Structure 1
Amino acid sequence: MSVTRRTFLAGTLALTACGVSEPSGTLRIAGGEPGGFYNDFATLISRLSPGSLTITPVQTGGSADNLRHLREGTADLGLTLSDSAHLEPGLVALGRVYENYLQLVVLRNAPYWSVADLAGKPVSLGAAGSGAALQGSRLAMGVREEHYPLRNAVEALKTGEIAALLWSGGVPTPELDKASGIRLLPLDGFLPKLRQEFGKVYERVEIRAGVYGSPADIPTIGTPNLMVCRPELGGEYASAVVRLLVGRAAELVPQQALGTQYLDVRSLIDTGKVPLHPGAAAEYRRLHG
């Protein structure tokens, strides 16, 4: 049976109104670095957590670092790119939350118009432990690899310390949006090789004209984001997080996803090769049959 977003959310609100007891305690969610999509999303969900359940965001380096936090038990939930999640055995998902856009940024007046022009040049391929770092290594662009957090990378780009920076995030990413005089290079040419080697986790997406002042759409690579946990997380907590993702979907939209993405049941349950936590799967079934 097909379930529309409006019908699904209406049913969810009705069920919530009937009264579902929330577990108590604290869950730590590994987010990301300041200015990034993960940090913004983790902050939003922490503010919306029910009174009996506290969700605390943890600033991290990004996807790979978040998986480390889960392994070491310093986080209960984590946000990660699906390609990073595929490398972690035993991981389960609570839902797919939005899409990251891979963005290769240069100064507007720089003499670089393709990835080939950057050969041998210093390029920041994301912060250490980030999803951009993994994807940058898979792109094999032939650049001199550097690894800066986003804010440091933007500054290094402006001063000429690096020729370009690679970032995986929402559009527009606020830190990039406020940096004047930048433009993006297309990355879609790498997509066939990535899909051949690593599967359909990578998708062709376009960054619309007008973003960062671009006069035209820029084709690039998109990767789904997942909220994940270890299978040991209690089913009642997994269910509570799902209720939050669904019931407060309209409020869980970071600024850098406005107008391009939203949460609905079809996207939430589409976690690819990473299976849903049994408690999450049961809650999705309870909410929409």
Structure 2
Amino acid sequence: MTRAEVSRRRVTAAWLGAGVAALTGCAAAAGPPRRLRLATGPEGGPYNAFGKALARAVAASGARLEIVPVSTSASVDNLRKLADGTVELALAMADVAEDAVLGREPFASPVAVTALARTYVNYTHLLVPADGPVRSVADLSGRPVAAGAAGSGVRVVAGRVLRAAGLGPGPTAVREWPLGLGASVTALREGSVDALFWSGGVPTAALAGAAREVPLRFLALDGYVGALREAFGPVYTAVTLPAAAYGLTEPVGTIGVGNYLLARDGVPVDSVRELLTVVFDRWRDLLRDVTAGARLEPRFAISTGSLPLHPGAVAYYRSVYG
């Protein structure tokens, strides 16, 4: 049994009694819906799409909740907003969430945050022009690269891949451009950058569109999974971009990173249970515009690494498992 599994069992045992007791005394009461702000991502991005779909699903469910999506720069920005109380809920990549709870860079100190669910897996994409000279990560040395917007999880995983490839600060470093997805695609089309990093579902619509218009090569990244796991733990896994997703001639191995739905400690237990009921009832709608072929099941959703489950999440999963 791993350390995380031992920790999770202890957390579940410790919180279950409190969570069930709180639920008993927090039955749905008359009054206005409880308003919860959800930090998502930039307009047009997958987190933003997930957040809006969740808000619609909750509104249609009859739950005593109102979910208010908040546009952000994504993962790092979202964790900071949770920490300062700007929002009550957030979406974030697993590696960034682990950094937050452990107080690792880019966070100056540990962030108190709890997990509600592991929702789906991001696939790390590294795209270059098919007719260009770049055939591997090492070939990016000294070149301009769209490495994700400031405050995004893309920026974190891109930087770690580049450092693992020996392209960190120094004479071999790439020139990292802090661009969001739309601006990154434009820059790659125009030749302003020689490569584009992205972390998201498969297929990502903006990349699928670009691949139909411009010949692109997707570079393999699975060879860096071992180094990333050694440095940052099992949040990184080896996954495969299927050939059918982008019209590739063959599958491409890459790096997978989970996504978490997170909450501040103070979000009421009954609100979390209501929210998760909607999430698992409507998961197909939530993931439709985010990633194809993914499923959301409680037995996988509890895999949140070092992040403790919120007491309301513990109570919800306990009710599901019986």
TM-score (norm 1): 0.89
Counting aligned pairs with the same residue, the percent is 41
Match of 1:273 among 292, 301, 306: 306
Are positions 1:35 and 2:44 aligned together? yes
- Cross-structure match for 2:67: 55
Please, which runs of 5 or more residues in structure 1 have no aligned partner?
A: 1-19
2:124/2:199 contact within 8 Å kept: yes
Choose the corresponding residue for 1:114, options 136, 143, 162. 136
Structure 2: state its 5+ residue gaps: 1-26, 101-110, 168-173
Residues 53-103 of structure 1, C-alpha deviations (whole Å, 9 max, x = no match): 211111111110111111122211100011111122321101110000110
Matches within 5 A, 1:16-165: 21=28, 24-49=33-58, 50-51=61-62, 52-88=64-100, 89-139=111-161, 140=163, 141=165, 142=167, 143-165=174-196
Residue of structure 2 equivalent to 1:235: 269
Q: 1:210 to 1:183 in 2, by over 3 A?
A: farther
Q: Determine the structure 2 residue equivalent to 1:203.
A: 237
Letter in 1 for 2:263: C
Secondary structure at the counterpart of residue 257 of structure 1: coil
Amino acid at match of 2:144: P
Aligned length: 269
Distance in 2, matches of 1:59 and 1:28, equals: 10
RMSD: 1.6
Helix, strand or coil: the match of 1:29?
Answer: strand
Report the 3-state secondary structure (helix = DSSP H, G, I; strand = E; otherwise coil) of the residue aligned with 1:123.
Answer: strand
Q: Which amino acid aligns with 2:314?
A: A
* Separation of aligned partners in 2, 1:254 and 1:59: 19
Tell me the SS of whatever aligns to 2:218.
strand
**Alpha-carbon deviation of 1:165?**
1.0
| Deviation, structure 1 residue 183 | 2.6
Quote the offset at 1:172 in angstroms: 0.8
Q: Give the match's secondary structure for 2:121.
A: strand
Whether contact under 8 Å (1:153, 1:165) holds in the other structure is yes
State how far apart, in whole Å, the 1-side matches of 2:28 and 2:184 are. 45
Distance between the aligned counterparts of 1:66 and 1:29, measured in 2? 9
CA-CA distance at 1:208 after TM superposition: 0.1
1 CA distance for matches of 2:140 and 2:39? Answer: 33
**Any conservation in 2 of the 1:46–1:55 contact (CA below 8 Å)?**
yes
The structural deviation recorded for 1:25 is 2.0
Which amino acid is the alignment partner of residue 303 of structure 2?
D
Distance 1:63 1:205 in 2: 21
Which position in structure 1 is the counterpart of 2:200? 169
2:285 to 224, 232, 251: 251
Contact 1:36 1:173 in 2 (8 A): no
Question: Aligned-pair distance for 1:262?
Answer: 0.9
Larger mean CA deviation between 195-204 and 266-275 belongs to 266-275
2:117–2:262 CA contact under 8 A, matched in 1: yes
Shift of 1:211: 2.1
